[in-house]
Protein backbone atom coordinates (compact mmCIF):
# COMPACT_ATOMS: atom_id res chain seq x y z
CA UNK A 1 0.00 0.00 0.00
CA UNK A 2 1.24 3.50 -0.82
CA UNK A 3 1.19 6.51 1.46
CA UNK A 4 0.79 10.14 0.50
CA UNK A 5 3.84 12.39 0.88
CA UNK A 6 2.18 15.45 2.36
CA UNK A 7 2.04 17.17 5.71
CA UNK A 8 -0.64 19.63 6.77
CA UNK A 9 0.57 22.32 9.13
CA UNK A 10 -2.88 22.72 10.69
CA UNK A 11 -6.13 20.74 10.23
CA UNK A 12 -8.00 23.76 8.93
CA UNK A 13 -7.69 27.43 8.27
CA UNK A 14 -10.07 28.22 11.13
CA UNK A 15 -7.75 26.57 13.62
CA UNK A 16 -4.89 28.66 12.27
CA UNK A 17 -6.91 31.75 13.24
CA UNK A 18 -6.94 33.05 9.70
CA UNK A 19 -10.46 34.38 10.16
CA UNK A 20 -9.76 37.77 11.77
CA UNK A 21 -7.29 38.77 9.05
CA UNK A 22 -8.56 40.90 6.21
CA UNK A 23 -9.33 39.03 3.02
CA UNK A 24 -6.79 39.84 0.32
CA UNK A 25 -7.38 40.75 -3.33
CA UNK A 26 -6.61 38.32 -6.13
CA UNK A 27 -3.02 37.11 -6.71
CA UNK A 28 -2.11 37.59 -3.03
CA UNK A 29 -2.61 35.12 -0.15
CA UNK A 30 -6.24 34.67 0.91
CA UNK A 31 -5.43 36.28 4.28
CA UNK A 32 -2.93 39.05 4.93
CA UNK A 33 0.10 38.94 7.16
CA UNK A 34 1.28 35.34 6.74
CA UNK A 35 4.44 34.27 4.94
CA UNK A 36 3.27 30.96 3.50
CA UNK A 37 4.01 30.56 -0.18
CA UNK A 38 1.85 31.48 -3.17
CA UNK A 39 2.29 30.68 -6.88
CA UNK A 40 3.69 34.18 -7.39
CA UNK A 41 6.08 34.12 -4.42
CA UNK A 42 7.64 30.82 -5.47
CA UNK A 43 7.76 31.93 -9.10
CA UNK A 44 9.78 34.88 -7.80
CA UNK A 45 12.06 32.74 -5.59
CA UNK A 46 12.72 30.31 -8.44
CA UNK A 47 13.13 32.96 -11.19
CA UNK A 48 10.20 31.64 -13.20
CA UNK A 49 8.94 35.13 -14.09
CA UNK A 50 10.70 38.05 -15.72
CA UNK A 51 9.77 40.66 -13.11
CA UNK A 52 10.96 39.81 -9.60
CA UNK A 53 10.00 41.69 -6.43
CA UNK A 54 13.02 42.11 -4.13
CA UNK A 55 12.62 39.59 -1.30
CA UNK A 56 9.72 37.78 -3.01
CA UNK A 57 7.37 38.59 -0.10
CA UNK A 58 4.16 36.55 -0.61
CA UNK A 59 2.07 39.57 0.42
CA UNK A 60 3.63 41.79 -2.25
CA UNK A 61 4.43 39.46 -5.15
CA UNK A 62 1.79 39.06 -7.88
CA UNK A 63 3.50 37.85 -11.07
CA UNK A 64 2.49 34.23 -11.74
CA UNK A 65 4.01 31.65 -14.07
CA UNK A 66 2.38 31.78 -17.50
CA UNK A 67 3.76 28.75 -19.36
CA UNK A 68 2.79 25.17 -19.97
CA UNK A 69 1.50 23.09 -22.87
CA UNK A 70 0.55 19.54 -23.79
CA UNK A 71 -0.35 17.56 -20.64
CA UNK A 72 0.37 16.74 -17.02
CA UNK A 73 -1.35 13.68 -15.52
CA UNK A 74 -1.60 13.36 -11.74
CA UNK A 75 -2.01 9.88 -10.26
CA UNK A 76 -3.79 9.71 -6.91
CA UNK A 77 -5.92 7.28 -4.93
CA UNK A 78 -9.61 7.46 -4.01
CA UNK A 79 -11.99 10.19 -5.17
CA UNK A 80 -11.94 13.92 -4.55
CA UNK A 81 -15.44 14.96 -5.68
CA UNK A 82 -14.68 18.68 -5.42
CA UNK A 83 -11.27 18.69 -7.12
CA UNK A 84 -12.47 20.78 -10.07
CA UNK A 85 -14.40 23.37 -8.05
CA UNK A 86 -11.59 23.67 -5.50
CA UNK A 87 -9.10 24.21 -8.33
CA UNK A 88 -11.36 26.95 -9.71
CA UNK A 89 -11.40 28.68 -6.30
CA UNK A 90 -7.62 28.42 -6.03
CA UNK A 91 -7.14 29.82 -9.53
CA UNK A 92 -9.48 32.74 -8.92
CA UNK A 93 -7.77 33.62 -5.63
CA UNK A 94 -4.30 33.72 -7.14
CA UNK A 95 -5.18 35.26 -10.49
CA UNK A 96 -4.42 32.13 -12.51
CA UNK A 97 -6.32 31.33 -15.73
CA UNK A 98 -9.08 28.71 -15.50
CA UNK A 99 -7.66 25.20 -15.57
CA UNK A 100 -8.40 22.58 -18.21
CA UNK A 101 -8.92 19.58 -15.90
CA UNK A 102 -10.33 16.16 -16.73
CA UNK A 103 -10.92 13.57 -13.99
CA UNK A 104 -10.41 9.95 -15.08
CA UNK A 105 -11.31 6.84 -13.07
CA UNK A 106 -8.48 4.38 -13.62
CA UNK A 107 -10.53 1.27 -12.84
CA UNK A 108 -13.65 2.50 -14.69
CA UNK A 109 -15.95 3.23 -11.75
CA UNK A 110 -15.85 6.32 -9.56
CA UNK A 111 -13.74 5.50 -6.49
CA UNK A 112 -14.93 5.88 -2.94
CA UNK A 113 -13.81 8.87 -0.92
CA UNK A 114 -10.63 8.10 0.99
CA UNK A 115 -10.66 7.10 4.65
CA UNK A 116 -8.84 10.25 5.79
CA UNK A 117 -8.61 13.94 4.99
CA UNK A 118 -5.13 13.45 3.60
CA UNK A 119 -6.25 11.74 0.40
CA UNK A 120 -8.60 14.59 -0.53
CA UNK A 121 -6.10 17.29 0.37
CA UNK A 122 -3.48 15.42 -1.66
CA UNK A 123 -5.56 15.65 -4.82
CA UNK A 124 -6.36 19.31 -4.20
CA UNK A 125 -2.66 20.03 -3.66
CA UNK A 126 -1.52 18.12 -6.73
CA UNK A 127 -3.96 19.66 -9.19
CA UNK A 128 -3.61 23.19 -7.83
CA UNK A 129 0.18 23.32 -7.79
CA UNK A 130 0.68 21.59 -11.13
CA UNK A 131 -1.65 24.24 -12.55
CA UNK A 132 0.15 27.01 -10.65
CA UNK A 133 3.50 26.18 -12.26
CA UNK A 134 2.13 25.34 -15.75
CA UNK A 135 -1.20 27.15 -16.10
CA UNK A 136 -1.52 26.47 -19.85
CA UNK A 137 -1.01 22.69 -19.60
CA UNK A 138 -3.89 20.26 -19.92
CA UNK A 139 -4.40 18.47 -16.58
CA UNK A 140 -5.61 14.94 -15.99
CA UNK A 141 -6.43 13.72 -12.49
CA UNK A 142 -6.29 9.93 -12.68
CA UNK A 143 -7.96 8.41 -9.61
CA UNK A 144 -7.14 4.86 -8.56
CA UNK A 145 -9.78 2.87 -6.70
CA UNK A 146 -7.62 2.84 -3.56
CA UNK A 147 -4.00 3.18 -2.46
CA UNK A 148 -2.90 -0.37 -3.28
CA UNK A 149 0.10 -0.59 -5.59
CA UNK A 150 -1.98 -2.82 -7.88
CA UNK A 151 -4.54 -0.10 -8.51
CA UNK A 152 -2.08 2.79 -8.45
CA UNK A 153 0.15 1.20 -11.07
CA UNK A 154 -2.88 0.56 -13.26
CA UNK A 155 -3.56 4.28 -12.89
CA UNK A 156 0.03 5.03 -13.92
CA UNK A 157 -0.60 3.14 -17.17
CA UNK A 158 -3.76 5.15 -17.81
CA UNK A 159 -1.98 8.42 -17.02
CA UNK A 160 0.96 7.53 -19.25
CA UNK A 161 -1.30 6.80 -22.21
CA UNK A 162 -3.17 10.09 -21.74
CA UNK A 163 0.06 12.10 -21.68
CA UNK A 164 1.50 10.25 -24.66
CA UNK A 165 -1.68 10.86 -26.66
CA UNK A 166 -1.39 14.59 -25.88
CA UNK A 167 2.04 14.69 -27.51
CA UNK A 168 4.07 14.26 -24.34
CA UNK A 169 4.39 15.75 -20.89
CA UNK A 170 4.67 14.62 -17.31
CA UNK A 171 3.12 12.16 -14.88
CA UNK A 172 3.18 13.39 -11.28
CA UNK A 173 3.37 10.86 -8.42
CA UNK A 174 3.10 12.11 -4.83
CA UNK A 175 3.01 8.76 -3.05
CA UNK A 176 5.22 5.82 -2.30
CA UNK A 177 6.36 3.20 0.18
CA UNK A 178 9.55 1.92 1.72
CA UNK A 179 11.80 0.04 -0.67
CA UNK A 180 11.23 -3.68 -1.24
CA UNK A 181 13.32 -6.43 -2.80
CA UNK A 182 11.45 -6.88 -6.08
CA UNK A 183 10.73 -3.20 -6.79
CA UNK A 184 12.85 -3.36 -9.96
CA UNK A 185 10.08 -5.46 -11.53
CA UNK A 186 7.88 -2.34 -11.47
CA UNK A 187 10.39 0.02 -13.08
CA UNK A 188 9.05 -0.77 -16.55
CA UNK A 189 5.80 1.03 -15.67
CA UNK A 190 7.71 4.30 -16.05
CA UNK A 191 8.96 3.83 -19.61
CA UNK A 192 6.19 5.08 -21.91
CA UNK A 193 7.91 7.05 -24.70
CA UNK A 194 7.49 10.81 -24.49
CA UNK A 195 6.54 10.77 -20.81
CA UNK A 196 8.64 12.14 -17.94
CA UNK A 197 7.70 10.75 -14.52
CA UNK A 198 8.22 12.91 -11.42
CA UNK A 199 7.95 11.10 -8.06
CA UNK A 200 8.13 12.63 -4.58
CA UNK A 201 11.10 11.50 -2.47
CA UNK A 202 9.14 11.11 0.78
CA UNK A 203 8.73 12.96 4.07
CA UNK A 204 11.13 11.11 6.33
CA UNK A 205 14.86 10.39 6.06
CA UNK A 206 15.55 7.41 3.83
CA UNK A 207 14.62 6.16 0.39
CA UNK A 208 11.10 5.72 -0.97
CA UNK A 209 9.80 3.83 -4.00
CA UNK A 210 8.97 4.76 -6.79
CA UNK A 211 11.24 7.77 -6.12
CA UNK A 212 14.17 5.32 -6.20
CA UNK A 213 13.36 4.06 -9.70
CA UNK A 214 15.96 5.09 -12.29
CA UNK A 215 13.00 5.75 -14.61
CA UNK A 216 11.67 8.72 -12.63
CA UNK A 217 12.86 12.17 -11.68
CA UNK A 218 13.05 12.10 -7.87
CA UNK A 219 11.58 15.26 -6.32
CA UNK A 220 13.07 16.28 -2.97
CA UNK A 221 12.28 19.05 -0.53
CA UNK A 222 13.81 22.27 0.80
CA UNK A 223 13.00 25.04 3.28
CA UNK A 224 12.35 28.68 2.38
CA UNK A 225 13.65 30.86 5.23
CA UNK A 226 12.13 34.35 5.51
CA UNK A 227 12.72 37.41 7.67
CA UNK A 228 9.82 37.67 10.14
CA UNK A 229 9.99 41.47 10.13
CA UNK A 230 10.14 42.15 6.40
CA UNK A 231 8.82 38.90 4.90
CA UNK A 232 11.78 38.85 2.55
CA UNK A 233 13.62 35.72 1.47
CA UNK A 234 16.78 35.06 3.51
CA UNK A 235 17.92 31.84 1.86
CA UNK A 236 16.81 28.39 0.79
CA UNK A 237 18.20 25.53 2.84
CA UNK A 238 17.56 21.84 3.40
CA UNK A 239 14.43 20.32 4.92
CA UNK A 240 15.64 17.79 7.48
CA UNK A 241 12.60 15.52 7.04
CA UNK A 242 12.82 15.26 3.27
CA UNK A 243 13.21 11.77 1.85
CA UNK A 244 16.74 11.15 0.66
CA UNK A 245 19.50 8.57 0.49
CA UNK A 246 20.96 5.78 -1.60
CA UNK A 247 18.81 2.86 -2.72
CA UNK A 248 19.62 -0.57 -1.34
CA UNK A 249 17.93 -2.18 -4.36
CA UNK A 250 18.37 -0.05 -7.48
CA UNK A 251 21.87 0.23 -8.98
CA UNK A 252 23.33 3.60 -9.90
CA UNK A 253 21.90 4.78 -13.24
CA UNK A 254 24.20 6.12 -15.93
CA UNK A 255 23.02 9.71 -15.45
CA UNK A 256 24.47 9.62 -11.92
CA UNK A 257 27.93 8.43 -12.93
CA UNK A 258 29.19 11.97 -12.45
CA UNK A 259 28.14 11.95 -8.77
CA UNK A 260 29.29 8.42 -7.95
CA UNK A 261 31.58 9.83 -5.25
CA UNK A 262 28.35 10.71 -3.35
CA UNK A 263 26.00 7.85 -4.23
CA UNK A 264 28.44 4.97 -4.66
CA UNK A 265 26.97 1.99 -6.50
CA UNK A 266 23.31 2.73 -5.73
CA UNK A 267 20.66 5.03 -7.14
CA UNK A 268 20.77 8.28 -5.14
CA UNK A 269 17.67 10.33 -4.34
CA UNK A 270 16.55 13.05 -4.86
CA UNK A 271 17.52 14.46 -8.26
CA UNK A 272 16.33 18.03 -7.62
CA UNK A 273 14.17 19.81 -5.07
CA UNK A 274 11.40 22.35 -4.35
CA UNK A 275 10.01 24.00 -1.22
CA UNK A 276 8.42 21.25 0.91
CA UNK A 277 8.82 22.14 4.59
CA UNK A 278 5.28 22.48 6.01
CA UNK A 279 6.49 25.38 8.15
CA UNK A 280 7.22 27.21 4.90
CA UNK A 281 4.34 25.51 3.10
CA UNK A 282 1.95 26.49 0.34
CA UNK A 283 -1.70 27.54 0.28
CA UNK A 284 -4.21 24.89 -0.83
CA UNK A 285 -8.00 25.21 -1.00
CA UNK A 286 -10.03 22.13 -0.20
CA UNK A 287 -13.69 21.31 0.39
CA UNK A 288 -13.06 18.49 2.82
CA UNK A 289 -15.62 16.20 4.43
CA UNK A 290 -13.29 15.52 7.36
CA UNK A 291 -11.91 18.96 8.25
CA UNK A 292 -14.30 21.32 6.48
CA UNK A 293 -14.02 23.80 3.66
CA UNK A 294 -11.17 26.28 3.71
CA UNK A 295 -7.56 27.16 3.11
CA UNK A 296 -4.90 24.76 4.32
CA UNK A 297 -1.14 25.13 4.64
CA UNK A 298 0.46 22.05 3.10
CA UNK A 299 4.03 20.82 2.86
CA UNK A 300 5.87 17.60 2.14
CA UNK A 301 7.43 16.41 -1.08
CA UNK A 302 3.87 16.04 -2.31
CA UNK A 303 4.29 19.74 -3.06
CA UNK A 304 7.52 19.07 -4.95
CA UNK A 305 6.27 16.46 -7.43
CA UNK A 306 3.37 18.38 -9.05
CA UNK A 307 5.20 21.71 -8.84
CA UNK A 308 8.33 20.36 -10.50
CA UNK A 309 6.16 18.58 -13.08
CA UNK A 310 4.73 21.99 -13.90
CA UNK A 311 8.15 23.63 -14.09
CA UNK A 312 9.51 20.90 -16.37
CA UNK A 313 6.38 21.17 -18.51
CA UNK A 314 6.71 24.95 -18.80
CA UNK A 315 10.36 24.60 -19.81
CA UNK A 316 9.11 22.95 -22.99
CA UNK A 317 11.86 20.36 -23.44
CA UNK A 318 9.44 17.39 -23.55
CA UNK A 319 12.15 14.75 -23.30
CA UNK A 320 11.67 11.23 -24.57
CA UNK A 321 11.98 9.72 -21.09
CA UNK A 322 12.76 10.47 -17.44
CA UNK A 323 16.31 9.21 -18.01
CA UNK A 324 16.72 11.76 -20.80
CA UNK A 325 15.38 14.48 -18.50
CA UNK A 326 17.79 13.42 -15.76
CA UNK A 327 20.67 13.40 -18.22
CA UNK A 328 19.99 17.10 -18.80
CA UNK A 329 19.52 17.81 -15.10
CA UNK A 330 22.86 16.19 -14.23
CA UNK A 331 24.78 17.84 -17.05
CA UNK A 332 27.90 19.49 -15.56
CA UNK A 333 27.19 22.50 -17.79
CA UNK A 334 23.63 23.00 -16.51
CA UNK A 335 23.41 26.21 -14.48
CA UNK A 336 19.64 26.17 -14.11
CA UNK A 337 19.60 25.26 -10.41
CA UNK A 338 20.05 26.94 -7.04
CA UNK A 339 22.79 25.02 -5.25
CA UNK A 340 21.60 24.40 -1.66
CA UNK A 341 24.70 24.63 0.56
CA UNK A 342 23.20 25.07 4.05
CA UNK A 343 21.65 22.40 6.25
CA UNK A 344 21.57 18.65 6.71
CA UNK A 345 19.25 15.69 6.27
CA UNK A 346 19.13 11.91 6.10
CA UNK A 347 19.08 9.10 8.64
CA UNK A 348 20.49 10.37 11.95
CA UNK A 349 20.76 13.75 10.14
CA UNK A 350 24.09 12.46 8.91
CA UNK A 351 24.09 13.94 5.39
CA UNK A 352 25.03 17.55 4.74
CA UNK A 353 24.41 20.08 2.01
CA UNK A 354 27.46 20.37 -0.23
CA UNK A 355 28.51 22.46 -3.21
CA UNK A 356 27.14 20.62 -6.21
CA UNK A 357 25.15 17.38 -5.87
CA UNK A 358 24.22 16.13 -2.40
CA UNK A 359 21.68 13.73 -0.92
CA UNK A 360 19.65 16.51 0.71
CA UNK A 361 18.49 18.35 -2.41
CA UNK A 362 20.10 16.62 -5.39
CA UNK A 363 21.47 19.14 -7.86
CA UNK A 364 19.46 21.85 -6.07
CA UNK A 365 16.19 23.70 -6.56
CA UNK A 366 15.10 25.17 -9.87
CA UNK A 367 16.44 28.50 -11.12
CA UNK A 368 14.49 29.58 -14.18
CA UNK A 369 13.23 27.33 -16.95
CA UNK A 370 16.51 26.76 -18.74
CA UNK A 371 18.03 23.30 -18.40
CA UNK A 372 14.83 21.52 -17.36
Cα-based angle 295, 300, 27 (whole degrees, multiple of 5): 40
Mean pLDDT of 48-63: 93
What tens digit of pLDDT does each residue of 223-271 get? Answer: 999 999 999 999 999 999 999 999 999 999 999 999 999 999 999 999 9
Q: Do 18 and 192 form a contact (C-beta atoms < 8 A)?
A: no
What tens digit of pLDDT does each residue of 193-233 get? Answer: 999 999 999 999 999 999 999 999 999 999 999 999 999 99
pLDDT surpassing 70 at residue 25? no
What tens digit of pLDDT does each residue of 318-349 get? Answer: 999 999 999 999 999 898 999 999 999 999 99
Tell me the pTM: 0.95
What tens digit of pLDDT does each residue of 121-135 get? Answer: 999 999 999 999 999
Strand partners, 268: 246
pLDDT surpassing 50 at residue 20? no
Q: Do 172 and 75 form a contact (C-beta atoms < 8 A)?
A: yes
Task: Kindly indicate the confidence band of residue 180, based on its pLDDT and cuts at 50, 70 and 90.
Answer: very high
Nearest of 91, 86, 94 to residue 63 by alpha carbon:
94
- pLDDT value of position 17: 45
pLDDT surpassing 50 at residue 63? yes
- pLDDT value of position 23: 53
Tell me whether the omega of the peptide bond preceding residue 181 falls within 30 degrees of 0, making it cis. Answer: no
CATH code of the region 3-366: 3.40.50.200
Nearest of 89, 35, 97 to residue 60 by alpha carbon:
35
Quick one: 182 exposed, middle or buried, by C-beta within 10 A (0-12, 13-18, 19+)? exposed
Q: Helices 83-93 and 117-133 meet at what angle, rounded to 10?
A: 50
pLDDT surpassing 60 at residue 56? yes
DSSP 297-314: EEESHHHHHHHHHHHHHH
Domain ranges of the chain: 3-366
CA distance 257 to 137: 33
Q: Do 154 and 107 form a contact (C-beta atoms < 8 A)?
A: yes
pLDDT surpassing 70 at residue 363? yes
Instruction: Return the exposure string of 213-246: e unless at least 16 CB atoms fall within 10 Å of the residue's CB, then b.
Output: bbbbbbbbbbbbebeeeebebeebbbbbbbbbbb
HSE-up of 311 (CA within 13 Å, CB side)?
32
- pLDDT value of position 10: 59
Q: Which residues are CB-contacts of 182 (< 8 A; sequence separation ≥ 6)?
A: none
Alpha-helical segments (H) within the chain: 39-45, 83-93, 117-133, 149-165, 260-263, 301-315, 322-329
What tens digit of pLDDT does each residue of 70-82 get? Answer: 999 999 999 999 9
Nearest of 215, 173, 226, 178 to residue 45 by alpha carbon:
226
CA distance 144 to 215: 21
Three-class DSSP labels, 211-241: CCCCCCEEEEEEEEEECCCCCCEEEEEECCC
Nearest of 302, 288, 301 to residue 14 by alpha carbon:
288
- pLDDT value of position 257: 98
- As a whole number, the mean pLDDT across the chain is 93
Amino acid sequence: MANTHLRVLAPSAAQMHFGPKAVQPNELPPFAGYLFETPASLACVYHLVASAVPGCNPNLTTANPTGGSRAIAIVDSFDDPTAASDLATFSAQFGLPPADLTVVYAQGAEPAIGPSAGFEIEEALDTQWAHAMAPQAKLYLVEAANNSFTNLFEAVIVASNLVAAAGGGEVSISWGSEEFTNETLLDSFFTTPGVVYVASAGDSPGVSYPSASPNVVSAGGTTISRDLNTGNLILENTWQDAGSGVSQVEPRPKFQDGVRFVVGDGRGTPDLAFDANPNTGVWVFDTNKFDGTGWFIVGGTSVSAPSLSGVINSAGGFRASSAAENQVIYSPFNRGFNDIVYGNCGPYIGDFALPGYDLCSGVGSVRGLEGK
